[in-house]
Amino acid sequence: MTWITSQRVAALLGVSVRAVQTAKTKYEHRYVKGKGRGGKQLQIALESLPQEAQDRYHGMQLEPVDVFQFTGKQRENADWKAFIVLDYQHSSLSPDDYVLNHNSREPEDAISTSQLFRWQKKYKQGGVTALIDQRGGHNRGRDTIPADAWEFFYNLYMTQQKRSVSLCYDIAKGEYHSIPSVSAFERKVRQIPYAALTLYRDGEKAFNDKCLPSMERTKLDILSNDVWFSDHHACDVFVKNADGAKIIRPWLTVFLMLVQTRLYRS
């Protein structure tokens, strides 16, 4: 395998080094002696990166795609498809089981196994941009905000400083005088995926807490006597001891055992 540094990976993927370090478990990785934290340096196998990043590493020039020619709804839909693909790849489920599980949780956004395979193939070939639905004409729903003006605004808005839309718009207006009204930017901001907003404006902890898949448990798989709770508490009353010579607050110690019950119908 070809091992490259996290800095090089960040450049190939177009993300920060911190983002690479956070998502290292998605790739084949190792630690070697170096100047990193604890005297170790993170390295990632080139072959485990998306094909687009591998091609960029080998000097292949891919045809550039201006994603800002598409509407926010088109880009949001592509982001959703990419999330489905990545969620499936990290689920350890078979394609059929993943689709059944997803459709039971999100019946309004049901998918098929063939769609999952098709999206996975496109994502591997060209990343998120390959998942953009371009049907309906070459100029379908194009935005009126110039791409460079939106990128300038986006970089101002998507930070943990949490600048308001109006403030970012005023700053952008000073650089790009012919941009449309602030309402156009407000509409476009509403089309930014929730996960992206959470990560860039609230931070990685909030993203991990709110956006990453969580494990749901049920009491049906917990056997009786598996779980015990206890508490030791001073009661809010005063009493006298046996001979009445001393006033004390009694302590109450409680143990609670989880007991599973089943109802049987005769």
Model confidence over 93-131: pLDDT tens digits? 898 999 999 899 888 888 998 889 988 888 877 777 788
Q: What is the pTM of this model?
A: 0.33
Per-residue model confidence (pLDDT) at position 265: 45
CA distances from 108 to 111, 112, 132, 160 (A): 9, 13, 20, 32
Per-residue model confidence (pLDDT) at position 221: 61
Are 255 and 228 spatial neighbours (Cβ–Cβ below 8 Å)? yes
Per-residue model confidence (pLDDT) at position 156: 92
- The rounded distance, in Å, linking the Cα atoms of 246 and 261 is 45
Nearest CA to 153 out of 180, 125, 126 is that of 180
From first to last of the 266 residues of the chain, give the pLDDT tens digit: 788 888 888 777 767 778 788 888 888 888 888 665 567 888 898 888 887 777 777 654 444 455 556 666 777 788 888 888 888 888 888 989 999 998 998 888 889 988 899 888 888 777 777 888 766 544 444 457 888 889 899 999 999 999 999 999 999 998 888 888 898 899 899 888 888 888 889 988 888 888 776 555 566 666 667 778 888 888 888 888 888 888 888 889 998 876 655 444 43
Are 143 and 180 spatial neighbours (Cβ–Cβ below 8 Å)? no
Contacting residues for 148 by C-beta, under 8 A, at least 6 apart: 176
Q: How many Cβ atoms are within 10 Å of 50's Cβ, its own excluded?
A: 16
Are 100 and 111 spatial neighbours (Cβ–Cβ below 8 Å)? no
Per-residue model confidence (pLDDT) at position 260: 54
Number of H helices, E strands in the chain: 11, 7
What are the φ/ψ torsions at residue 139 (nearest 5 degrees)?
-110, 25
Are 70 and 136 spatial neighbours (Cβ–Cβ below 8 Å)? no
Q: What's the chain's length in residues?
A: 266
Please provide the DSSP assignment of 139-161 as one string: TTT--SS-HHHHHHHHHHHSSTT
